Structure 1
Amino acid sequence: MDSGIKCVIEAVIFAADTPVSVERLVSILEGHDKAEVKDALENLVADYKAKAGGIFIDEVAGGYVFRTNTEYAPWIRRLFKIGQQKLSKPAMESLAIIAYKQPLTRSELESVRGVDSGGVLGTLMDKRFIKIAGRKEIPGRPVVYGTTREFLETFDLKDLSCLPSLRQLQTTEGEDASETNRQRTEETEDGTGRIDEGSQAHLAGGGDVAEEGRGADDRGEGAGQRSGGDGAGGEG
């Protein structure tokens, strides 16, 4: 294999501010076919994995991007002077509904949740996890929402087909609940009355979203877009 191809791929992925697809790499590496480029890319990914260093190449949102290993997150946060962000339970619930049922309107989201969702839609738009994906062809033509590339990058998904099935989610929730009950029983028996951080997070229902290590695109997809009637206040 021509090591020069690997170096070019490495440089391109490093320089890009969004995940780089195989097709994009092929268009850049003129004179090399797709099979050759994929082979070089796979070898490059394996090289970084074998190094087990501070960075690696990850496949997310339909392309490849450099990321920092999560064990070094505390130092990355110090560098940028940021803390770990946390989505509220209503925001996580709304994001999950949008991810599985997109595109959908605000009223459709609210019919599932049973509460006003203008506030959480605004929060998710501000964080660039969702965007206005068009309008529904019904009276009034309300806007519909869908997830963004930033959503895929943040939650480490190659594409929407990688979302866990509802059956898997239900199984995981059941296991989490059983584990939490077991821990609480043990704590009651030994008299400590303590709940570890993981249990607190589960009981709080929030979702920790680590921003470091993802190839954020400052331009965003639909960032800051809001509809006059869909950004009304509500829960956040």
Structure 2
Amino acid sequence: MVNLFMDYKEVKSIIEGLLFVSGSEGMEAKQIAEIIEIDVEEAVDICHDLAADFRREGRGLQIVEVAGTFQMTTLPEHAPYFEKLAYQPQQASLSQAALETLAIIAYKQPITRSEIEEIRGVKSERGINNLMAKKLIQEVGRTEGPGRPILYGTTKEFLDYFGLGSLKELPPPPSFLPQDVLEEERLLFDQRSIFTDTAGESSSHEPEE
């Protein structure tokens, strides 16, 4: 039964927002149902209804169900345009935010998006997507926790990009201190010279992109 305090249209709108913010990890119907306080079967039906809306309206996004998880993704036929965006010359260099995300993955891999965001203190989905598009990181598996979040790690292209023979050539990693996330990040990037020197980035902290 749909939440008594919300009508069907509102519930569908909330689910659309949830799928958007969950990114590539998506959400299981059970998670959606618990958040909105509706039946699991109702959550599944609404996701299917929402997917039909997207198809009927010719949207640039789609909702797909993969192994019981609903995800909002781009259309496969649009992939060539996204590749052009990712590899435009002005997109070649890495922003400070992307460098931070990449360094965290390099030192802490395999690591989930939520763990990266816990360290950085900001959303990192866009930075992760950019790094994926540049083939500097890749999906290396999934955790066994709820929703089975994606684990990320670096690639051979990462080593080539920074002129490394192996991950062993990275500077010694800092001590990660969960009780002090900001200090943890500062310590990490005190040792990021191989990133900034190679990519030619400024040392100012930029917002996530």
Select the structure of larger CA radius of gyration: 1
TM-score normalised per structure 1: 0.38
**Relative contact order (alpha carbons < 8 A, sep ≥ 6): 1 or 2 greater?**
1
